[in-house]
Structure 1
Amino acid sequence: MDPKTSTTSDASPMYPRPVSATSKAWYYFIVYTRRVLLKLALPILKRFPGMLYPGVKPTFTKSYPCHPNLTHRFFYPKSYNASDPALPLYIDIHGGGFVFFAAQVDDKFCSNLANNNNILVVSLEYSLAPSSPFPVALHEAADVITSILDDDSLPFDRSKIAVGGFSAGASLALTVSQLPNIKKILRGVVAFYPVIDWTRNVQDQLASKPKGCGPDSLEARMPLFEYCYIPAGQDMKDPLVSPGFATRDALPSKVCLIGCEHDLLCRDAEVMAQRLAKVETEDGASAWEHDGIKWAKIVGQVHAFDFLPFPTGEVKKIRQERAKQMYDDVVDWLFREVYI
């Protein structure tokens, strides 16, 4: 098969790749060691300006009875007044390979989205693998979204609802939006550099990248994420695992897919966008819209470039400009196609 393509035509199941006992032990060591280090580093990082956005906080946090162990973050526009009309709702799902991080990492994005665009933003928490593999996070997200919709204390317009996410969170946004009880209430879904197709070999994904764009941080991590998130015996062609196998009718009417040119996941997302829209474009096309589908390729950027720490000089300037343009384009699309 051409390494620049992925397919949904073969219906035969594909299961997670075998992992040796040594690799399993190494994966667990990496996951839990990194979690401990992140927990220890958090109080220190908060002391430095620009790290973890210490001045950015949600309006409030809240848990729901369906999953009382999960605390979600709610961002009202600072200008909001109780007498104002109901707000559009954007539900955000954080990334981290289904294994790392928490809703807090998206605070700056959520705060800016709410304050700059008069949107109510809710940042969802979910349980992490490997202790909570698929489909735990998927069902938690569905339960919490249902609870949000039933929450009469929240001032949002029930006809203007979108869900979105980053990386693993983008994959969850694309999968939870396929569940019938969630799909029927959503107007659109936004997926920033999502995990689209778990059946793809990492080496084939690397081969789909432009030549000379350098190493990819996901190359070593994707096997770890696969082992932690996808249980043995799970068909990886299930569209609730690999949303690239979802049919057009299974998704909301409006879908926005965004990839980063130097990301091994980019081509999979582009192929999905082309398939959903039933269009063929040149590989170099960086942006287009057709029949409710929006595709955007962030040229010259790597996976999660808008969250990478410690940028300096010209690199920092370019990243900030590209991130702002990416977010502005998504907001423009939301108000043209979803919040209408």
Structure 2
Amino acid sequence: MTTSGPDHVSGLDVAVFRAEAVAPETARFNQQLRERLKDLPGPEAGGGGLPLPPAEPSQRARTIRIAGRDGHELALRVIAPDHPEGVYLHFHGGGFVGGSAAQSDQVLERITRNTGLACIDVDYRLAPTHPHPAAWDDAESAAIWLIENARSEFGTDALAIGGESAGATLAASVLVRLRERRGSTGFQAANLVFGTFDLSMTPSQLLLGADAVPVSTDIIRACTEAVAPRNEQRQDSGLSPLYADLRHLPEALFTVGTLDPFLDDSLFMHVRWVAAGNPAELAVYPGGTHAFTSFPIPLADQANDRIDAFLRRVGRGRPAGQDRASSSVATS
């Protein structure tokens, strides 16, 4: 794993991107995943769903319904301990076209158990029925509701935001919207996991995606065309947060694998985040594919442990730079 610290951009170790850096168990799993996927239909035939482990619902999940924009009712799925130390607002992945809040129950159960945070996932509207900006509007509505109600609902106003893939895109975009429209974000930390930060497609989306599993360039294109059908809008800062003014945003952790088509998205966004004056960490995992944190492999355990440690600081009220094992570049 390669990491860079919160207050500066460290040089990445080239070794982490070499084939020999991939652990044997990770390589075996990636080959098994490729075999499982080779006979599945592509996006043009209605396929393209990720072969993730079955989503087991949480027995303690509850739903809060709030008013979104234009009278749209928005469902928030809540998993919380008895006495939360903070609240984590999470947006599920699915390429803006699939998924639901319930699919993240076990992820949020893990985070709640390991951090003491209450967790909220958002059933935002999906493309192509609801293209941009519907999901972005829903994400902002959920964030504003939480900022205004966290103290009364959960007894705390220590807040984190984040998500995976499309969910990370929404989280970053919401932070920019909040700063622009309200003067501050209201969140102390952002957990951004293999996000899609440039919908006009970074080089890795084209190069790594050509032969990637479980998400290929064709799948990426299909999802992008559904949520942002006009090509000229895809570099708009309101859609692709890589192009936004990123000043005055909270501390962030960027997580990505070296075989993820969205590798460049995290590398570029991390640099821009720090260049804008915000603390940020970058964690790069050798052999990690898109969505690798959801699979039963040691690499996922490493990444999820790092994510939990990052989020745990929110409830403890730690400022950027404290409670870290290291802020230097390291490989493992």
TM-score by structure 2 length?
0.71
Aligned runs of 1:69-218 on 2, under 5 Å? Answer: 69-77=73-81, 80=82, 84=83, 87-151=85-149, 153-158=152-157, 160-179=158-177, 180=179, 181=182, 183-200=184-201, 205-207=205-207, 217-218=215-216
In the alignment, which residue of structure 2 is the partner of 1:62? 64
Q: Does 1:275 pair with 2:252?
A: no
Specify the structure having the higher radius of gyration (Cα). Answer: 1
Note the C-alpha offset of 1:252. 1.6
Partner SS for 1:272: helix
Q: Given residue 258 of structure 2, which amino acid in structure 1 is its aligned partner?
A: E
1:51 aligns with 2:48: no
Instruction: Please say if residues 244 and 269 of structure 1, whose CA atoms lie closer than 8 Å, have aligned partners that are also in contact.
Output: no
Partner of 1:15: none
* Distance in 1, Cα, partners of 2:183 & 2:101: 21
- Give the letter aligned to residue 153 of structure 2: L
1:257 paired with 2:254, answer: yes
1:68-89 superposed Cα distances (whole Å, 9 cap, x missing partner): 6432211112xx2xxx5x5211
Distance in structure 2 (CA, Å) of the matches to 1:28 and 1:183: 42
- Identity score, percent: 22
CA distance, structure 2, for counterparts of residue 94 and residue 182 of structure 1: 26
Structure 1's 153 and 276: CA in aligned 2 closer, same or farther, altered over 3 A?
closer
Q: Name the counterpart of 2:246.
A: 248
Structure with the higher fraction of residues in helix conformation? 2
From the superposition, tell whether residues 252 and 57 of structure 1 become closer, same or farther in structure 2 (CA, over 3 Å).
farther
Q: Structure 1 pair 325/236, CA: closer, same or farther in 2 (3 Å)?
A: same
How big is the shift at 1:164? 0.4
The reply to whether residue 324 of structure 1 matches residue 324 of structure 2 is no
Match of 2:226 in 1: 228
SS at match of 2:284: strand
Pairwise CA distance, 1:182: 8.2
Conservation of the 8 A alpha-carbon contact between 2:213 and 2:289: no
* Unaligned 5+ runs, structure 1: 1-25, 39-44, 280-289, 309-315
Secondary structure at the counterpart of residue 324 of structure 1: helix
Question: What is the alpha-carbon distance in structure 2 between the residues aligned to residue 168 and residue 142 of structure 1?
Answer: 14
Partner of 1:299: 286
1:149 and 1:291, CA in 2 relative to 1: closer, same or farther beyond 3 A? closer
The Cα of 1:216 is off from its aligned counterpart by: 5.7
Q: Is the 8 A contact 1:58 1:73 kept in 2?
A: no
Q: Distance in 2 between matches of 1:277 and 1:136?
A: 29
Q: Which runs of 4+ in 1 moved over 4 A?
A: 26-29, 213-216
CA deviation vs aligned residue, 1:211-253 (integer Å, no higher than 9, x gap):
9x8656222211111110014275222222111112331x523
Query: d(CA) in 1 for partners of 2:107 and 2:142?
Result: 20
Q: Does structure 1 conserve the Cα–Cα contact (< 8 Å) formed by 2:159 and 2:314?
A: no
Q: 1:227 to 1:302 in 2, by over 3 A?
A: same
Moved more, 86-95 or 180-189: 180-189
Q: Which amino acid aligns with 2:67?
A: P
| Cα distance in 1 between the residues matched to 2:43 and 2:286 | 32
Say which SS state the counterpart of residue 292 (structure 2) adopts: coil
Give unpaired runs (5+ residues) of structure 2: 1-41, 319-332
The size of the alignment, in residue pairs, is 269
Q: In 2, distance between residues paired with 1:191 and 1:263?
A: 14
- Secondary structure in structure 2 of the residue aligned to 1:295: strand
Equivalent-residue separation in structure 2 for 1:182 and 1:275 (angstroms): 20
Structure 1 CA distance for aligned equivalents of residues 246 and 281 of structure 2: 13
- Distance (Å, rounded) in 1 between the aligned partners of 2:202 and 2:254: 21
Aligned counterparts of 1:252 and 1:99: Cα–Cα separation in 2: 27
CA distance in 2, matches of 1:295, 1:72: 29
Deviations 1:188-226 (A, max 9, x none): 211110001122266x534368x9x86562222111111
Residues 328 and 307 of structure 1, relative CA distance in 2, 3 Å threshold: closer
| Partner SS state of residue 97, structure 1 | coil
TM-score (norm 1): 0.70
Partners of 2:264 and 2:67 in 1: CA distance: 40
**1:295-322 Cα deviation digits (max 9, x unpaired):** 11121110002335xxxxxxx4xx2x22
